[in-house]
């Protein structure tokens, strides 16, 4: 099964029941708005769903506006580059008796 089909399958399996549950609570909320007393218990869950959704929408908008999705591969590359640099430093220190990060200068005893 391809990766896209698996993603689509999982999205359907997760989102359809979620949408069904939210839809039912929203219908109960609408019944409450029309004055039906039986829908009063739906007020709190629907309000919580709407506020949480609004919060996530605001967070997503803030992240998009601040360029958080501009280069999503950079943190991965930075982590791998740092790992390689630290591995080289570890290898260098075991063979030369002291710790030095490659690419930096080691000062002599007189400070130069």
pLDDT in tens, 90-108: 776 666 555 555 566 655 5
For residue 19, give the nearest of 40, 58, 44, 49 by alpha carbon.
Answer: 49
pLDDT digits (tens, 9 = 90+) for 57-71: 999 999 889 888 888
Please, where are the H alpha helices in 1-112? 3-33, 43-65, 74-96
State whether 37 and 18 are in the same domain.
yes
State whether 76 and 32 are in the same domain.
no
| Total tally of structural domains belonging to the chain | 2
Residue found under tokens 């959704």: 53
Parent domain of 21: 3-65
State whether 29 and 51 are in the same domain.
yes
Specify the pLDDT at position 24: 86
State whether 51 and 16 are in the same domain.
yes
């Amino acid at each position: 099964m391809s990766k896209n089909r698996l993603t689509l399958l999982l999205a359907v399996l997760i989102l359809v029941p979620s949408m069904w549950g939210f839809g039912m609570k929203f219908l109960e909320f609408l019944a409450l708005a029309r004055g039906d007393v039986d829908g009063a218990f739906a007020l709190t869950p629907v309000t919580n769903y709407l506020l949480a959704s609004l919060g996530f929408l605001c967070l997503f908008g803030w992240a998009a506006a601040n360029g958080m999705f501009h280069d999503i591969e950079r943190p991965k590359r930075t982590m791998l580059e740092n790992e390689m640099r630290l591995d080289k430093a570890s290898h260098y220190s075991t063979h030369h008796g002291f710790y030095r990060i490659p690419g930096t200068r080691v000062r002599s005893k007189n400070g130069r």
